[in-house]
């Protein structure tokens, strides 16, 4: 227990640092340090989930993620390269078991939401520093993601802890810059919409001219900052913001996403595997060369897991809506953070992807672990 708490406090920031240093230096040894650390933390997550299994039954999302993992595990055996498929599955296992541990530890008051927020602040600071490094040394052209989506995943729990944009605003600013500098269209859109939904809830529950003006200032800051980076960052491929990239009739729009999504949808629709899909990582392995993932949970799950996969996603949306209605009875002022999280989730599921291939969703879904414990 003490080792795992130590690794959450300091290992999580180290994970990001080693990931980005390995990219910056193109160093496989440093990358393997990151991989080894993830395996160790996952092993401890498994132990704690077994150890506190009876406590987990109180977590509203435990059963959902239990069956989510079980279904994905049955599909791993269909992967053409089993070890690669299992490694990808282990990352999903990492964050789904991890949010269970956050729930347990906060319930026992041995590692609370406040403690996890400190971890998030460290990771945001590291993300911002490395974003600046990648920008100024010219590496942004090849690694323009840096940590934009990681910061986005952490943002709902940070936003909740601003208490209506009153606290932790320096980290809101650093988060905004870490996302905007990379000019990731999807991350920027989700970031702006997440703020808008949360802000809308604030003024609905407690209207004031001051909140209107502060919200307008935040919106103008985001718009002007984005416009500035588009026009002034020569290292960025600003063609990604051209009108052609937003034309749904153009197969190359969205950096080729429109064509890819169309191909995946037609491949699923014209197959004899509509119900259960083509198998684990089938979206990646369907071409002999130039393999790439779907960059969408919606189209990836549809192609790989069929209607069963889409059903899994829709059930999660329904559970979050029900959770919002329940939480709203106890805390009407902050309930909109759940809607903010839901809208960010829907966007990312549609045009990027979250569920597979990354351990970072532990920051995103960690919020629901802490919110449930506030319901008495």
- SS3 letters for 132-190? HHHHHCCHHHCCCCCCHHHHHHHHHHHHHCCCCCCCCHHHHHHHHHHHHCCCCHHHHHH
pLDDT, residue 247, reads 47
pLDDT, residue 236, reads 47
C-alpha distances in Å from residue 268, one per residue of 153, 259, 272, 301, 342: 29, 14, 8, 10, 26
CA separation for the pair 338, 375 (Å, rounded): 14
Contact between 359 and 38 (Cβ < 8 Å): yes
C-alpha distances in Å from residue 242, one per residue of 181, 245, 253, 255: 17, 6, 9, 11
pLDDT, residue 225, reads 73
Query: CB within 8 A of 209, min separation 6: which ones?
Result: none
Q: What is the reported pTM?
A: 0.91
C-alpha distances in Å from residue 28, one per residue of 35, 135, 137, 253: 10, 22, 20, 33
Counting as low any pLDDT under 50, the low residues of the chain are 235-236, 243, 245-247, 253-254
3 state SS of 27: coil
pLDDT, residue 210, reads 67
Per residue in 169-203, pLDDT tens?
Answer: 999 999 999 998 888 888 999 999 999 999 888 88
């Amino acid at each position: 227990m003490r080792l795992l708490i130590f690794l959450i406090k300091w290992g999580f920031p180290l994970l990001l640092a080693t990931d980005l240093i390995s990219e910056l230096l193109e160093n496989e040894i440093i990358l393997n340090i990151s991989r080894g650390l993830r395996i160790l933390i996952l092993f401890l997550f498994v132990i704690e989930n077994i150890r506190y299994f009876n406590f987990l039954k109180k977590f509203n999302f435990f059963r959902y993620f239990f069956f989510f993992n079980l279904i994905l595990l049955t599909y791993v055996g269909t992967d053409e390269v089993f070890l690669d498929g299992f490694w990808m599955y282990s990352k999903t296992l990492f964050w789904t078991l991890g949010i269970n541990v956050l729930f347990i530890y906060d319930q026992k008051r041995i590692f609370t939401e406040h403690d996890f927020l400190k971890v998030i602040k460290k990771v945001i600071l590291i993300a911002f520093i490395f974003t600046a490094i990648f920008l100024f040394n010219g590496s942004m052209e090849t690694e323009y993601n840096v940590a934009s989506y990681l910061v986005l995943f952490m943002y709902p729990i940070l936003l909740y802890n601003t208490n209506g944009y009153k606290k932790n605003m320096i980290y809101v600013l650093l988060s905004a810059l870490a996302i905007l500098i990379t000019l990731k269209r999807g991350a920027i859109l989700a970031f702006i919409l997440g703020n808008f939904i949360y802000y809308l809830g604030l003024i609905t529950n407690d209207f004031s001219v001051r909140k209107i003006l502060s919200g307008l200032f935040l919106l103008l800051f985001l718009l002007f900052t984005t416009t500035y980076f588009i026009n002034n960052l020569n290292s960025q491929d600003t063609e990604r913001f051209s009108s052609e990239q937003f034309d749904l009739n153009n197969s190359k729009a969205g950096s080729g996403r429109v064509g890819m999504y169309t191909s995946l949808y037609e491949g699923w629709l014209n197959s004899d595997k509509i119900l259960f899909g083509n198998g684990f990582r089938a979206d990646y392995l369907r071409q002999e060369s130039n393999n790439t993932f779907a960059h969408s949970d919606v189209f990836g799950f549809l192609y790989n897991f069929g209607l069963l996969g889409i059903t899994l996603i829709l059930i999660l949306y329904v559970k979050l809506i029900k959770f919002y209605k329940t939480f709203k009875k106890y805390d009407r002022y902050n309930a909109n953070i759940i809607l903010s999280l839901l809208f960010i989730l829907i966007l990312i599921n549609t045009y990027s992807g979250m569920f597979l291939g990354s351990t970072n969703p532990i920051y995103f879904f960690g919020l629901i672990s802490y919110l449930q414990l506030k319901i008495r």
